Structure 1
């Protein structure tokens, strides 16, 4: 029997100093652009395969 989730509540606490330093240090712009382009390419491939069926 499938379960349907009708409402989902998510609470988070953000420390601005910690978030700014960790994201800037861990991912540079080149890596981010590479990841985005690979994701877009995979999405296009998936859509192409769906159309072939």
Structure 2
């Protein structure tokens, strides 16, 4: 019998400059935005696949 997941909650903690190997003069805002954009695109792709079924 297949399992259907109706809700998925993901919680992450992002700490400023702790435990990072990036140099302090680089801006990490662009990198965070790229990760968020990729995650949103993946969620939208999954949602569109669900609608096709």
**Scaled by the length of structure 1, what TM-score is found?**
0.53
Give CA-to-partner distance per residue, 1:22-50, whole Å, 9 cap, x none: 16764800000000000000000000000
Larger Rg belongs to: 1
Q: How many residues align?
A: 35
Whose RCO is larger (CA < 8 A, sep 6+)? Answer: 2
Runs of 4+ with >6 A deviation: none
Once the two structures are superposed, the pairs formed by residues 28-47 of structure 1 within 5 Å of their partners are 28-47=28-47
> TM-score normalized by structure 2?
0.53
RMSD: 2.6
Structure 2: stretches of 5+ with no match in the other structure: 1-14
Identify, as 1 or 2, the structure richer in helix: 1
